[in-house]
Structure 1
């Protein structure tokens, strides 16, 4: 074997992750091209690479390029990917089942001691593919499973301690649910807390008829309960409630109770009605797929999957890629979450938002900016992909990074061909209007840079981006809290046909 031929067989050993350490037995690895062989004792195999102790020393060989013969060759059990999934909801199991179907396989669920469940994925063509242990976290700290270095994925709606290794796959929210026959369409946080504290007990105090409020609660879904606790929305001790074991059961009861009210996850809403959330300035937002996707509903949170800072088995890595696909996102939507797809809305459907915002924008906002903004929006479509930043920086948050990947892919595919893509930056109402306008434009420019970075070199060169900053000209919510201000600090994406757009100089 020549040295140049030998080099083609050698791969850096640090690529090996969680290898199967085998009893050292002789193997013969033959190149599928038929012109090369390597003989030696098999030291490790991780499902993708062989590490063999040869006369030349330890060599690492890509298993896809060779066939193995000899007593030391790994068995089907050795080549089956094994990893764990920690999940505080149903999403993980449903998505693994969808991925197995996508791979041409099927899933069998085996129940072991103390109810432990393992998903066994296999196919007729390839045999066993993976064994995935399902783990339900016993506490509000599901990410603890990532600390011991095991091959583990964590599906959770709680914030990940490591955003760089976290992928947002869907969106959920805390919503206030009633029956659709209830005439009260919106509620303030103070009113809701009054209901939960037992100081508001009659619907007439909320603008409806003289009827006693029935407060429904559930103890299910530990991740959701953590969000409820953080928002201070748990019922006070001693308040009369109707308890339910499962969120979805409670949603069905509330949907048929004209005097009922409950705090629910958006994903468990079913046929119950989501009340609008009204701020102190009079603006209100309702939880809908678009408002969750665009981040304009105040109590939105992400469904994400976190991975360890190590190389996972191939099946697990391909599964993570699958989660970005249309097939996976359809499963996410079927489970009741808002998916990560990009939806569109025209100006007409956001008329109430603009009418509300015109009443509360700062006096320093130039009228010319408002006219320019509404002129561009007229006849344009807003995309649900909206960009926000980590606190005090121009670094995109986790959801925005996923939005950048999705939008860049859509631009490459020509989904917005022959359109001008407006990146409109907005700020909160704190500070001087001129400074806010400048900052919002810089953040819009940062989004453009993120989109270009997310695409192959030069693939977005033909996209007509327009960078605009409007500062505090169009708030989405009243700024009653720091979280509300974060909602207003964003970059929106609007697209408009070239033919409908008046000639103007793009901002740089």
Structure 2
């Protein structure tokens, strides 16, 4: 029993170095069950495991299973976890505070002379739990903070250099914003670029009233400005603009300016209204939480956390796990992001989708395919969890891996018991329709395999999966760019009550 919690020197490689200041003194580790004791000299302690030199040789003991007595026991200060978070503190801090509440602990924020912040977390019962340094964000290369081998988590909206060590915790998007009183509800990317170039300066050219528009721009948040430049959405020199120091200040002004227009992150909209995007073929996409969660809104991107290629302290690992919890996701929603939870949408709320399908019937897509597809969707609910793959591979992208974890957990818990779970694959419009239909079904089969792999063996045996491929029968966006084609290449999840 207790012996199984001890391991020889081979497992000691799992341990990190001992905290500075641990002296070679005697201690006694007593099993909480009271049936065994280990005496010896402490060699290492990482906050999770003791490594003790005993008369039998070095032993490793799980600290959660024993009580420690003696001068060699590490003090609370020595066992407190220490790590850093690099990124936007306005996101990291609320999540840390929520985690502390979840742990029954309190938070103290210490601001240094140059504005650097340190977060101390402690509980009355356990004493100091963690010290977290909040490192300033490097807009040019946020991942530089973890390349020195330090215990650093990186919060960033930029693409991670290591997707396997990255988890997406919230979703954002580039949106065009206006006042709620402005009747214009949509704009094309080309039109917005012409606004930013000064070629369109009146709302009548966008389908509105004969009124001069006011272009608002913000100078803060370098990473967002870089994203706009990459998309060709940066204002051109010489164009008349109203400048703002911060994005949230600009959002408030635009919300109250009936003739204002701006490009903002979805998370910073506040009370401004997002305008939908129209493609060159006439398809329309609204910016709302579901379209971000399902990846169907163009210019959606994730806020992710990347961990270093080393074993981090237990407190940090538990924090990463907490970020997947409903409590953490509620914080992300409060911050303005679309969360990673699974929402539902009925076919009756997707009129634009049906209109898109009607636009392509008869080209290469037979009416029978659309009828079969809509027959399944009728009376069903689409889940926001949508699956896409890394370019040129059958590996799920970072957001889809998170979706697989969330959906598998929901299936295990019985959230969709007594329902049919349809996995419906779709393709872009490139290539022959017959081949696309076959490929889209193979992708749906790959998603089924990923869901089963994400769950304990046999736990999804009772789930009634139905796999279909419909190729290019239901495009979400016009394929004006390669990124648009990626949006259309997806696997959707629909759930429907079983017929009695």
Deviation at 1:139, TM superposition (A): 3.0
Deviation at 1:418, TM superposition (A): 1.2
Deviation at 1:220, TM superposition (A): 2.1
For residues 121-144 of structure 1, the C-alpha deviation after alignment (integer angstroms, 9 at most, x for no partner) is 111111111111111213321111
Q: 2 CA distance for matches of 1:113 and 1:53?
A: 43
- Do the aligned residues in 2 keep the contact of 1:344 with 1:383 (CA within 8 Å)? yes
Paired residues, number: 497
Normalising by structure 1, what TM-score? 0.95
- 1:16 maps to what in 2? 15
- Do the aligned residues in 2 keep the contact of 1:10 with 1:60 (CA within 8 Å)? yes
- Do the aligned residues in 1 keep the contact of 2:179 with 2:272 (CA within 8 Å)? yes
Identify which range, 96-105 or 147-156, moves more after superposition. 147-156
Moved >4 Å (runs of 4+): 4-8
Deviation at 1:346, TM superposition (A): 0.7
- Do the aligned residues in 2 keep the contact of 1:156 with 1:304 (CA within 8 Å)? yes
Identify which range, 293-302 or 12-21, moves more after superposition. 12-21
SS of corresponding position for 1:90: helix
Normalising by structure 2, what TM-score? 0.96
Structure 1 residues 34, 383: closer, same or farther in 2, change over 3 A?
closer
- 1:271 maps to what in 2? 271
Residue correspondence of structure 1 range 94-109 to structure 2 within 5 A: 94-109=94-109
- Do the aligned residues in 2 keep the contact of 1:88 with 1:221 (CA within 8 Å)? no
- Do the aligned residues in 1 keep the contact of 2:22 with 2:78 (CA within 8 Å)? no
Structure 1 residues 75, 267: closer, same or farther in 2, change over 3 A?
same
Deviation at 1:161, TM superposition (A): 0.7
Q: 2 CA distance for matches of 1:160 and 1:381?
A: 33
Structure 1 residues 460, 471: closer, same or farther in 2, change over 3 A?
same
Deviation at 1:74, TM superposition (A): 1.2
Report whether the alignment pairs 1:28 with 2:27. Answer: yes
- Do the aligned residues in 2 keep the contact of 1:88 with 1:222 (CA within 8 Å)? no
Deviation at 1:7, TM superposition (A): 6.6
Residue correspondence of structure 1 range 172-191 to structure 2 within 5 A: 172-191=172-191
- 1:118 maps to what in 2? 118
Report whether the alignment pairs 1:340 with 2:330. Answer: no
- 2:88 maps to what in 1? 88
Deviation at 1:362, TM superposition (A): 6.3
Deviation at 1:105, TM superposition (A): 1.0
Q: C-alpha root-mean-square deviation of aligned residues, in Å? A: 1.6
Residue correspondence of structure 1 range 207-246 to structure 2 within 5 A: 207-246=207-246
Deviation at 1:89, TM superposition (A): 5.2
Report whether the alignment pairs 1:328 with 2:328. Answer: yes
- Do the aligned residues in 1 keep the contact of 2:87 with 2:138 (CA within 8 Å)? no
SS of corresponding position for 1:275: strand
- 2:300 maps to what in 1? 300
Report whether the alignment pairs 1:352 with 2:349. Answer: no
Deviation at 1:25, TM superposition (A): 2.0
Q: 2 CA distance for matches of 1:236 and 1:462?
A: 58
For residues 237-269 of structure 1, the C-alpha deviation after alignment (integer angstroms, 9 at most, x for no partner) is 121111111111111100110110000000010
Gaps of 5+ in 2: none
Q: 2 CA distance for matches of 1:484 and 1:271?
A: 28
Report whether the alignment pairs 1:455 with 2:452. Answer: no
Deviation at 1:156, TM superposition (A): 1.1
Q: 2 CA distance for matches of 1:145 and 1:285?
A: 37
For residues 44-67 of structure 1, the C-alpha deviation after alignment (integer angstroms, 9 at most, x for no partner) is 211112223334333322222333
For residues 167-196 of structure 1, the C-alpha deviation after alignment (integer angstroms, 9 at most, x for no partner) is 111100000000011121111111100011
- Do the aligned residues in 2 keep the contact of 1:218 with 1:250 (CA within 8 Å)? yes
Structure 1 residues 456, 217: closer, same or farther in 2, change over 3 A?
same
Q: 2 CA distance for matches of 1:406 and 1:9?
A: 34
Q: 1 CA distance for matches of 2:182 and 2:310?
A: 52
For residues 198-233 of structure 1, the C-alpha deviation after alignment (integer angstroms, 9 at most, x for no partner) is 111111211212211111111222332232122121
Q: 2 CA distance for matches of 1:344 and 1:359?
A: 25
For residues 87-122 of structure 1, the C-alpha deviation after alignment (integer angstroms, 9 at most, x for no partner) is 135221110100000111111101123221111111
Deviation at 1:391, TM superposition (A): 0.7
- 1:363 maps to what in 2? 363
- 1:505 maps to what in 2? none
- Do the aligned residues in 2 keep the contact of 1:155 with 1:305 (CA within 8 Å)? yes
